[in-house]
Structure 1
C-alpha cells in the first residue's frame, strides 16, 4: 500500500456562482463536477494536483469564514502556484478581489520565490505563490 497523491480539501461556500467565478474564471481551476443534492449543491474544482470539494448548503445565511489564528489548530489558507504572482494579483485586483498582502519575496526561499495573499468570496485566505527555481 502506498500513497497515490493529494486528492482534495473540503470547504463550504455561501454562493456557487461567486465561488466558480473566483476559483475557475479568475484563478484558472476547472469545474470537474457540479451536482445538486438534497442538502445543497456540490462542486469539485480541479487545480491540477488536487481538487477543492465545495459544498453550498441549501440553508441560507452562512457566516463569512473566520480566520484561524496562529495559536489555533486548523487550516489557515489555500495555496496556488502561478508563473507570475504580480500579474495574477493585478488581475484579481481589477476584478475587485480583496487583497490581504501584496506580492513580496517569500521567507522560505528554498520552497517559494514570491508570495501574496487575497480572500475568496467567502473570506477564506488564498495564498498565491511563485515556486523556487529549485522545485
Structure 2
C-alpha cells in the first residue's frame, strides 16, 4: 500500500485514541475544523453540543462547554488558551493545501510550514509540518511524511 493510501476515507474506521476537546463556541469550532482544515462530520449529537469529526484516519471529538461544567470530566479551571502543553499531530496527504487554505483565510500559524527531520535509531524521518491554534487555543501540528534518510552523526 502506498503511503498516501492510508488517508482514504473508511466509514468503518474508528481510531483507538481520539481526543475530545471542550470548546467555547461549537459553531465557530466547526467552521474552523471543517471549512478551513478539511475535517468532516462522522456523526453528531446536537442536543448534547457534541460532534465527532474525521479527516482520513484522524478523528477528533468536539464538545460545547456548557454554562455549568460541573458534570464534565474537568480536572481544573478552564482558561484560554485550552490545551496548554499539548499538541496534536495530524498526518495528512497534502499539508501544503491546508496551510494555504488557512493563509487565504488570514489565519496566522503558530509555527510556519517547514521541513523537519526527527531521529529514530540510525535514520531520520522527514516531514513537512506547521502548527496552528484552533479558536480555543488547542495546538494542532499538521504534517506530511516526506521520507527517511540515514543519520550522519549519532548524538552522544
TM bin, normalised by shorter chain, reads: 0.7 to 0.9
Whole-Å separation in 1 of the counterparts to 2:43 and 2:26: 12
Q: Scaled by the length of structure 2, what TM-score is found?
A: 0.66
Aligned counterpart, 1:104: 114
The 5 A counterparts of 1:1-135 are: 6-37=16-47, 40-59=48-67, 63-64=79-80, 65-68=82-85, 76-108=86-118, 110-133=124-147
For structure 1, the 5+ residue unaligned runs are 69-75
Structure with bigger gyration radius: 2
Q: Deviations over 1:13-60 (max 9, x none)?
A: 1111111111111111111222134xx411100223242111102218
Superposed CA offset, 1:60-79 (max 9, x none): 8x6321521xxxxxxx1112
- Alignment TM-score, normalising by the size of structure 1: 0.75
Where is the helix percentage greater, Structure 1 or Structure 2?
2
Q: Is the 8 A contact 1:15 1:56 kept in 2?
A: yes
